[in-house]
A = this chain, B = another copy of it.
Amino acid sequence: MGLRILVQQEPFDFGAECDGFAAGRHDLGAVVTFAGTVRDLGGDLRGMEIEHYPGMTEKALEAIAREAEGRWDLGEVLVIHRHGPLAPGERIMMVATASPHRKDAFEAAEFLMDYLKSRAPFWKKETAKDGAAWVAAKNEDEDALKRW
């Protein structure tokens, strides 16, 4: 399985990554991508800061991807996750999966996201008009792991 993992401060080009992902792999008929962006529901978010654990982050992401590889028929996997300061609407991260079968591509992408959310060492801090606060983990994110 082709596996590419990028943990970086710089923005990434979602369109170009989607376009190039699994390109030329005529055996893989199904590609699923997920992109997460800095959400601003109320309109008063100034920005976000993402902290991570250099060294562990890459290992954790690779372990999650290898677990997915063992469970589904995957030809290519891509994970990109940014850290550092981000503005509202900016893309935080993406995953992409390619498989001969659409069900495998979908399930693997959702699995990667569920595990990445709760098992990869990233922490988000939001800065709004009235100050900064660490984003709390949601029970539903931990619960999402029970499905797998």
Tell me if A60 is interfacial: C-beta within 8 Å of chain B: no
**Contact among B16, B37, B100 with A39 in the assembled complex (CB-CB below 8 Å):** B100
A27 and B39 contact, Cβ closer than 8 Å, known pairs A33-B33, A34-B102, A34-B106 = yes
Which residue numbers of A lie inside 8 Å of B, CB to CB?
13-16, 18-20, 24, 26-41, 43, 88-89, 100, 102-103, 105-106, 109-110, 113, 144
20 contacts between A and B (CB under 8 A): A13-B19, A18-B33, A24-B89, A26-B38, A26-B43, A27-B40, A27-B41, A29-B37, A30-B34, A30-B35, A32-B32, A32-B109, A33-B33, A34-B105, A34-B106, A36-B102, A41-B100, A103-B144, A106-B106, A106-B110
